[in-house]
Amino acid sequence: MPVNGRSHIRIARPSRDLAAAERFWKDGLGLDVVFRKEQGGGPGEHALLMVGWPDASWHLELVHEAAAPVRPRPTEEDLLVVYVDGEVPDDLVARLEAHGGRRVLSPNPYWNEWGVTVEDPDGYRLVLSTRAWSNS
C-alpha cells in the first residue's frame, strides 16, 4: 500500500495518568476508546490507550510505563487542532474543563482569534478552531 492522503495517522504521546487522559479525551471531547492494553509485568511493558473517532483517519495513542515513566514535555506549540467550522460550543469547553482540561491563551494570536485552546492533563494543547479545514 502506498503512503498517501488515505494513510491512517497515529499520534503517539506519553501520559502521566491514563485515567485522567481518558476522562479528558473520551468524556470531555467525546472520542471513543479504540484500543486499550493494561500494563504487563515484564520489562518494557506499558499500558496503552488509543482514542479517536471511528470514522476518522487518525487516532491518539497515549502510553504509560509505571516502571520507567516518560514525562510528557509539551511546548506551547504542540497542538492538536480540530476544525469545528463554526462557533466552539461553550458546553464543550465546560465539559473539557470538568474532565481535567484547562483553558489557556495561546502565544500565537492566530489561535486566540480563531479558536479556543485547552490543555489536557499532560499539558498538551487541543485547539478547537472556529474555521473549516480547506486544502487550498
Domains 9-64 and 79-129 share a fold: yes
Contact yes or no for 100/27 (Cβ under 8 A): no
User: What is d(CA 51, CA 65) in angstroms, rounded to the nearest whole number?
Assistant: 18
Per domain, the residue ranges of the chain are 9-64, 79-129
Give the Cα separation of 105 and 79 in Å (integer): 13
Average pLDDT over residues 6-34: 96
What residue has cell string 491514563?
18
Q: What pTM was computed for the model?
A: 0.92
Report the top-level CATH class of 9-64.
alpha beta
Say how far apart CA 134 and CA 14 lie, in whole Å: 30
pLDDT tens for 58-116 read 999 999 988 888 999 999 999 999 999 999 999 999 999 999 999 999 999 999 999 99
> Which homologous superfamily does the CATH classification assign to the domain defined by 79-129?
2,3-Dihydroxybiphenyl 1,2-Dioxygenase, domain 1 (3.10.180.10)
